[in-house]
Amino acid sequence: MSSLTANDRDVRSLYLDLMRRNLTRYGMHERMPAQWPLRRRLFFKTMNRMLVRTHAHRLADATPDGLPQPIVRRKRDLGLDWPAEAETMIGMQRLTSLQRCVETVLADDIPGDLVECGVWRGGACILMRAVLAAYGDEKRCVWVADSFQGLPRPDAAKYKADKWMRGDLFSGILGVPETEVRANFERYGLLDDQVRFLPGWFKDTLPDAPIDRVAVLRLDGDLYESNIQPLDALYPRLSPGGFCIIDDYHVLEPCRQAVTDYRAKHGISAEIVDIDGIGVLWRK
């Protein structure tokens, strides 16, 4: 890395900035795909109206007159809408933070692979693979862990915090097929042997996953179950100096409770750092 010229660094920065903007469709106008059935179109419109109402105080500066528009940069900054086309819904701030985490473990030579549990259309994983490509890292893998069927049906008897939600409620939206996620990697020229897929429910795939060490662990599972299971299986493999990133920590109580319980049980005292008022991270 020290041998790179200023121009090399500028090109790398431009490439990764362009990746983030494309993955979020930042500042771009999106149209719902013509092949979507009416029910799905109505669901997206309803969810986006609900998100605007819920986060109106955070979106007040989105436009000069203070009225949020269908597609505005502020919503994509914070990941406060459900994109019709974008490969990620986590927003520019969380995506930029993820890039910095990967760059930090590369610079500090923290051993391990990059793992996301709960990938939706694959955008965050695509960015992690892009960072490895930009820095010429040919040893680490990006692990793409998802059921590719949506959320599991909550096991309320075992995970009481998950009684709030039906597991099949968003399956039609959150359940993106593996073939589609692979196609999204291919779209950016980033589907290769350094991308590994772990299809299935976390309880079945993660405990025996062939991952020796982890440098960046990103969890986006919404439910208590879908956060505690990856923590149980993979946090012990997170290298000292590695990052644990939790999406929706500030907005989904079951997610936050799983993190609180796990940290308390294992005596984890590392400072939880806010990213954008929604996601958080800490460094092991």
CATH of the domain at 173: 3.40.50.150
In a domain, 83, yes or no: no
Query: Based on the domain organization, do 45 and 107 belong to the same domain?
Result: no
Query: Based on the domain organization, do 263 and 167 belong to the same domain?
Result: yes
Query: Based on the domain organization, do 122 and 64 belong to the same domain?
Result: no
Query: Based on the domain organization, do 107 and 71 belong to the same domain?
Result: no
In a domain, 195, yes or no: yes
In a domain, 220, yes or no: yes
Query: Based on the domain organization, do 140 and 58 belong to the same domain?
Result: no
In a domain, 1, yes or no: no
Strands 142-146 and 238-246: unpaired
- State pLDDT tens for residues 84-113: 889 999 999 999 999 999 999 999 999 999
In a domain, 85, yes or no: no
Indicate if the pLDDT at residue 55 is higher than 80: no
- State pLDDT tens for residues 58-70: 555 544 444 444 4
Number of domains present in the structure of the chain: 2
Query: Based on the domain organization, do 149 and 226 belong to the same domain?
Result: yes
Integer CA distances (angstroms), 155 to 9, 35, 161, 167, in order: 48, 34, 10, 9
- State pLDDT tens for residues 118-162: 999 999 999 999 999 999 999 999 999 999 998 888 888 888 888
Query: Based on the domain organization, do 110 and 220 belong to the same domain?
Result: yes
Residue located via tokens 């772990």? 198
Residue located via tokens 């999406």? 247
Query: Based on the domain organization, do 186 and 257 belong to the same domain?
Result: yes
Query: Based on the domain organization, do 69 and 185 belong to the same domain?
Result: no
> What mean pLDDT do residues 193-202 have?
98
Confidence of residue 8 (pLDDT cuts 50, 70, 90): low
In a domain, 84, yes or no: no
Query: Based on the domain organization, do 22 and 149 belong to the same domain?
Result: no
Query: Based on the domain organization, do 166 and 246 belong to the same domain?
Result: yes
Listed residues 53, 78, 103: the one ending a domain: 78
Query: Based on the domain organization, do 24 and 120 belong to the same domain?
Result: no
pLDDT at residue number 64: 43
Determine the 3-state secondary structure of 98 from DSSP: helix
Strands 238-246 and 280-283: antiparallel
The pTM of this model reads 0.87
**103: which 2 tokens?**
């760059």
In a domain, 148, yes or no: yes
In a domain, 223, yes or no: yes
How many Å apart are CA 87 and CA 22, to the nearest integer?
Answer: 8
Listed residues 28, 48, 78: the one ending a domain: 78
Candidates 240, 273, 228; CA nearest to 97 is: 273
> What mean pLDDT do residues 24-45 have?
69
Domain with 39 in it = 6-78
Listed residues 78, 99, 129: the one ending a domain: 78
